[in-house]
Structure 1
Amino acid sequence: MDPLKLPFDADDMLSGLRPWIECESPTHDAAAVDRMMDLAAHDLAQMAEIERIPGRMGFGGSLRARFPHPRQGAPGILILGHMDTVHPVGTLSKLPFRREGDICFGPGIMDMKGGNYAAVEALRQLQRAGLETPLPVTVLFTPDEEVGTPSTRELIEAEAARHKYVLVPEPARDDGGAVIGRYAIARFNLIAEGQPSHAGARLSEGRSAIAMMARKLLEIEAMTGEDCTFSVGVIRGGEWVNCVSSLCKAEALSMAKTQEDLDRGVARMMALAGDENGVEFRITRGVTRPVWAPDQSGTMAMYDIAKDIARDLGFDLTAGSAGGGSDGNFTGAMGIPTLDSLGVRGKGLHTLTEHIEVASLAERGRLLAALMMRLGGQG
């Protein structure tokens, strides 16, 4: 049977996806992420051998599913996705799962539970039709991508090294295209430590950590240029309004198109550390995503196959490098052919308007199913 003619039904897929969306799974809530992994494990257990990998560093666990295949254990296809989201528990009260015509809203529905579900449905449809992929398939779902993958990078790289191809169903680009390279990303932890005093009676005796951090944040964001961007996304400081703050913490992120640009940006950031007027400003490196350069022949060959499939499905699959990291950074940087952003179409990821185009569930399911049937096969 032609995989492009498999009976994908977007409405049925949306019904199956709904429990995943209504199981909120913010990265820093390990128990919530594990509950999401339970749901995915239940869906996958009907088709594959399931392995639950315990979490570490305070994060939830991972889920690995190996599908039956005559060549089980041989290098095959890895489908790589994350089940954590940026949305805290309780977001459903502000962003409930709801359908409005051709679009559907919900926390994490675009990034990236929709794409993950499309991949699972693709495997389900192939199995129901009795279609055997030329290469064995493994699915790996992880819990910490939204914070840079500190606890599972080694797991991802070890698993990817066993495979010939990696498919990442992160959200599609704005035009529906795929990603064949990603920029480098570095994270930083910032700490300002000052001297407390009573803000009313002894204001002049204090040295405000918050004031120092505010000045540094302006410096950091002013460093943004064409070669390297800088942004501060988290800040915490002070405990009492009537006390000069002695501690303020923040988190910053830098992104660059080349490793050389990122290295220069990191050096500029680290040079901001020091003491000023009795306040110490410290910077430590957080996790880093390496550059995945868009020049790998294996990736481009895989993209050519996907582009042909998309043409048969009635759309043009463009490709390019992208900002914003994914776990594809790691596998692509390893030199493993990787095709990213094969997931659903939508808008508003990481916001309270996050939504998908419902029809793209079936579109991406067909694309992924056909791609798995073509990789490692003839023609």
Structure 2
Amino acid sequence: MNFKNYLTSNQDQILKDIQLIVEYESPSKRKDLSDHCADAILQLFYERLGVYGDAFEQEETGKHLKFEIGRGEKTVVMLAHYDTVWDEGDLSFYIEGDKAYGPGTVDMKACIVQSMWAIKALQEEDVELDYKIKFLITADEEIKSPTGQHFIKDEVKGADTVLVVEPPTGYEGLIKTARKGDATYDIKTTGTSSHAGNEPKPEANAINELAHQIVKLQALADLDNGTSINVGVIQGGSKRNVTADEAVIEVDCRFSKKEEAHRIDQAIQAFKPMLKETKLIVEGGIERYPMERTDETVTIYEVARDVAGDLGVELGETLAGGVSDGNFTSAMGIPTLDGLGAIGDGLHAKHEHIIISELPKRGALLAGLLTRLPI
């Protein structure tokens, strides 16, 4: 079974399919555009795989999609999303050398198409798997999966393995055997405004209160243990000579262990004012638990590494600081391997692109892994 040769012979068509889906722009919060993209994906899967997908309508975002391929008592779930961070017209699709640029090329429309073609390669080589593939494609991952997470959690119940076809890390194509989890908080303080010269009230200054809270936040970080805390936004006050009566900070926390998530959350939720004349409100909490590197995940990675070796590729692994929908499935105890998508760079950046010549090789890696999964 030479999946790479088959995919290489179809590389031009794979690239045309990628262009088709990329040019159906799908900003997370544009339901109209996203629904059109979803329809195009449904049609493409039918044309390439002969599979009818199910669409799950959403009120504020595009449709979530489900494709079921094959049959068997066991189930392997493949996860992807088609929404992007780009507004309509921000970027356009174009090819320059061995790179294809455009909104959502690497994050992650090329990954969807490449994965679809990996399954098509199995079909063309008459490979019958002894399990069912459930391919889930959501429409709101870039805005923290408000509805997508519930769709995923419902659909993966009872699944044996989850393969996340998000892009790998770097041009080296590192597989993600672990991801950090995240928590976000808005910490708001209120005090009393007054003239800073005539009636100074440092104990009622909301910004002074936040300064104390920021020091407490930084004391909670533990970089050696994979826990970081970032104050990314601070707002407050009105004029230089007026005591601030309101202020707020926006905080991002990342952690690589579940117990760290609980430690951080419990500590921040318990924050109290440090100054006598201020009040404090904490909003937010844990968004995603970390995708931890488990023995089961390592077993799947080692199989993928062997498949890559047969393709002449040295497949490394990494811990990713960013999150994906794979965090949800990992937290449910389902073995989850991430980073099986297209190689490229520039996620969420204007130079977002894929490496065209890597498409057949990475598609063959996924196809080969699907034939050897230890389930």
Aligned positions of 1:154-233 closer than 5 A: 154-174=150-170, 175-192=172-189, 220=217, 224-226=221-223, 227=225, 228-233=227-232
In the alignment, which of 117, 123, 142 is matched to residue 138 of structure 2?
142
Pairing partner for 1:48 from 51, 59, 68? 51
Q: Which amino acid aligns with 1:362?
A: P
User: Given the two structures, how large is their TM-score scaled by the length of structure 2?
Assistant: 0.83
3-state secondary structure, aligned to 2:16: helix
Match of 1:100 among 78, 85, 96: 96
- Cα 1:184–1:275 change in 2 (3 A) is same
Q: What is the one-letter code of the residue matched to 2:56?
A: I
Aligned position for 1:24: 25
Deviation readout 1:292-330 (Å, 9 max, x if unpaired): 221223x22222221111111111111233221111112
Task: Tell me which amino acid in the other structure corresponds to 1:5.
Answer: N
1:154/1:244 CA distance change after superposition, 3 Å: same
Q: Is contact 2:300–2:374 with CA below 8 Å preserved after alignment?
A: no
TM-score by length of structure 1 reads: 0.82
1:214–1:275 CA distance, 2 compared to 1 (3 A):
closer
C-alpha distance in 2, partners of 1:88/1:218? Answer: 37
* SS of residue paired to 1:336: coil
Partner secondary structure for residue 7 of structure 2: coil
Distance 1:239 1:45 in 2: 58
Cα offset, 1:247, TM superposition: 6.6
On the 8 A contact 2:66/2:135 being kept in 1, the answer is yes
Partner residue in 1 for 2:257? 258
Over residues 61-118 of structure 1, what are the superposed CA-to-partner deviations in whole Å (9 max), with x where a residue is unaligned? 2100112x353xx3222110111222233322xxx22222112222221122221221
Distance 1:222 1:100 in 2: 47
Seen in structure 2, the aligned counterparts of structure 1 residues 128 and 309 have a Cα distance that, compared at 3 Å, is: same
Match in the other structure for 1:89: 88
The 5 Å alignment of 1:243-254 reads 251-254=250-253
Distance 1:27 1:215 in 2: 36
Match of 1:109 in 2: 105
Q: How many residues align?
A: 367
How far is 1:333 from its partner?
A: 2.4
Partners of 1:140 and 1:51 lie apart in 2 by 10
Aligned to 2:12: 11
Q: CA RMSD in A?
A: 3.5
Is the partner of 1:132 in helix, strand or coil? coil
Q: Does 1:325 align with 2:327?
A: no
Flag structure 2 segments of 5+ consecutive residues without an equivalent: none
Q: Read off the aligned partner of 2:312 and give its amino acid letter.
A: G
Secondary structure at the counterpart of residue 183 of structure 2? strand
Letter in 1 for 2:30: D
The residue type equivalent to 2:264 in the other structure is G
SS at match of 1:288: strand
Shift in CA distance, 280/134, structure 1 to aligned 2, threshold 3 Å: same
How far the C-alpha of 1:251 sits from its partner, in A, is 3.9
| Structure 2: distance between partners of 1:26 and 1:246 | 37
Aligned residue in 1 for 2:352 = 354
| 3-state SS in 2 of match to 1:180 | strand
What aligned pairs does 1:301-340 form with structure 2 within 5 A after superposition? 301-340=299-338
Measured at CA, do residues 223 and 65 of structure 1 come closer, stay the same or move farther in structure 2, by a change above 3 Å? Answer: same
CA shift in 2, pair 1:362/1:250, >3 Å: farther
CA 1:109–1:7: 2 relative to 1, 3 Å: closer
Show CA shifts across 1:203-260 (max 9, x none).
Answer: 999x9978977886687568644132122456778999xx999776664321012122
Please give the per-residue CA displacement for 1:7-56, whole angstroms capped at 9, x wherever unaligned: 34333322211132223322233333323222211111332131111225
Q: Are 2:7 and 2:364, in contact at CA under 8 Å, matched by a contact in 1?
A: no
Contact 2:212/2:274, CA 8 A, preserved across alignment: no
CA 1:293/1:30 → structure 2, altered by over 3 Å: closer, same or farther? same
In structure 1, the partner of 2:364 is 366
Is the CA contact 1:10–1:360 (under 8 Å) kept in the aligned structure 2? no
Do the aligned partners of residues 90 and 4 (structure 1) sit closer, same or farther apart at CA in structure 2, a change above 3 Å counting?
A: closer
1:268 to partner: Cα distance? 4.0
Cα distance in 2, alignment partners of residues 294 and 157 from structure 1: 20
Per the alignment, do residues 348 and 129 of structure 1 end up closer, same or farther by CA in structure 2, a change over 3 Å counting?
A: same
Task: For 2:137 and 2:330, locate their aligned partners in 1 and report how far apart those are by CA, in whole Å.
Answer: 17
1:121 Cα deviation (Å)? 1.6
Letter of the 1:161 counterpart: K
Unmatched tracts of structure 1, length 5 or more = none
Residue 360 and residue 191 in structure 1: after superposition, are their counterparts in 2 closer, same or farther (change >3 A)?
A: farther
1: CA distance, partners of 2:21 / 2:205: 45
Q: Once the two structures are aligned, what percentage of the paired residues are identical?
A: 30
What letter is aligned with 2:153?
Answer: E
Letter in 1 for 2:75: G
Give yes or no for the alignment of 1:296 onto 2:300: no
